[in-house]
Each structure stands twice: as C-alpha cells, then as structure tokens.
Amino acid sequence: MCSGRVDLEFILRAFATGQDGVFIGGCKLDECNYITHGNYDALSNVHICRKIMEHIGLNPQRLRIEFMSGADGNLLAEYTDDFTNQVKELGPLGKSEGIDEKGLKFKLEAVRKLVPYIKLVERERLRAPSKSKEVYRQFLESSEFNGLFDKLIVNKLTISQIISLLEESPLSTGKISEFLGLNPSEVSRHINTSSMHGLVRYDESRKCYALA
C-alpha cells in the first residue's frame, strides 16, 4: 500500500486505542512505485500530525516516517528497532506527558472530529507547490506554513475542544481556561467567534457559557 494512503484518522485511531507510537515506512522520495509520489503526501501528513500532537501536549517523537526501497530490509529493521527503543524510553502514551486517561481521550477525540476539515485544509492551503525534497523542506519549515497552521488548524482545534467541553456541561471562561491550559482572554476570543457562528450562548441564569 502506498504510504500516501495512511490517513490522518488511522494515526489518531492508533493513539486513541492505546498505541504508544506509530511508525510509517514509505518509498524513497522521488522513487514512487505508483508514480503518484504519495510518499510526499505522507510526509506532509506526518508533519501536520506531529505539530498537532505537540499542540495537544503529546510528544511528537511518538510518530515517525522513514523512506526506503523494497531492497532495504536491513534499514527497515534498523529503523523499527531504533523507534521501538525510543518509544520505550518515552514511556506510556499520555502518562509520560502528564495527561490522564480522560484528558488524553478528550484531546484525541477533539482532533479526530476535525479530520475531514484538516484534510481539506492540507489539500487546499498547506500543500507545497511541487513535489521535490527541497521544495517540501523549505515549505514545511517556513513561517508561511506555521502561520497558516496556527490560523487554520490551531484556532479550529481550540474551538472544537471548547464545544466538546460544553457538550458535557455549561462552564465559565475560567473553568474552560483551566481545563485547556489557555489564557482566559484567548478562550474569550474563541467563545466570541463561536457565538457569532451560533455555536455558543451565554446562560445568564447560571453565569456561564453553554451550547446554543
């Protein structure tokens, strides 16, 4: 199977079911077996997923991609052994990062809800203009990419987390800030945006926010 077929949902599902690490092996860049160069899509996917993991408090080193040919069995063994040892050193998913089981489930579910949106954004706004090593390296490490990532994904993810919290019960800005580890002013900004889109309302009787 082409590494480009490894959907973001597959990676998140692996972590959600308790896997401590995910390893993806692809064809060497510029040596695609399917002439689609899907390995570049896999590279972009992994880069975005690792940035999301970092944002929600998970160590991005738990996700790795390596490129090799079908004749590189020795490399595959070397890469997987190294990754296995690395994951063992990192320890259990969530616990090593100081995230309890409930918090981990909440964070991963909030991301999974956004997968269709993230895939659309990646295809339309976060994809390098051409498939070459140097172009991808420059684009994925650029301030342009990081700015778009924050604007298009981080903001949307924060709103998704707020909505998920309010699905459980109405909360004050302070409680939401405490749970998400965000500045109250930042939470207020996202709540105002959600209110304008008809997603959130202020409950005067309980002095807190609830789903609209």
Q: What mean pLDDT is reported for the chain? A: 93
Q: Residue 212 has which token pair?
A: 């609209």
Strands 22-26 and 208-211: unpaired
Comparing CA positions, the residue from 53, 43, 48, 41 lying closest to residue 14 is: 53
Amino acid making up residue 156: K
Strands 63-67 and 22-26: parallel
Cα–Cα dist 197/126, whole Å: 25
45-72 confidence digits (pLDDT tens): 999 999 999 999 999 999 999 999 888 8
Residue 73: pLDDT band (50, 70, 90) is confident
Phi, psi of 123 (to 5 degrees): -70, -40
pLDDT at 4 over 90: no
pLDDT for 147 equals 96
pLDDT for 56 equals 93
Contact 3, 26 (CB under 8 A): yes
122-168 confidence digits (pLDDT tens): 999 999 988 899 999 999 999 999 999 999 999 999 999 999 999 99
Residue 30: pLDDT band (50, 70, 90) is confident
Residues in the chain: 212
**Residue 38 burial by Cβ neighbours in a 10 Å radius (0-12, 13-18, 19+):** buried
Comparing CA positions, the residue from 48, 24, 27 lying closest to residue 39 is: 27
Q: Where are the beta strands (DSSP E) in 164-207?
A: 200-203
Average pLDDT of the segment spanning 90-119 = 94
Contact 118, 8 (CB under 8 A): yes
CA 171 to chain centroid, in Å, comes to 25
Residue 118: pLDDT band (50, 70, 90) is very high
Q: Is the pTM of this model over 0.85?
A: yes
pLDDT at 181 over 90: no
Q: Three-state DSSP class for 4?
A: helix
Q: Rounded to whole angstroms, what are the CA distances from 194 to 6, 72, 73, 160?
A: 32, 50, 51, 10
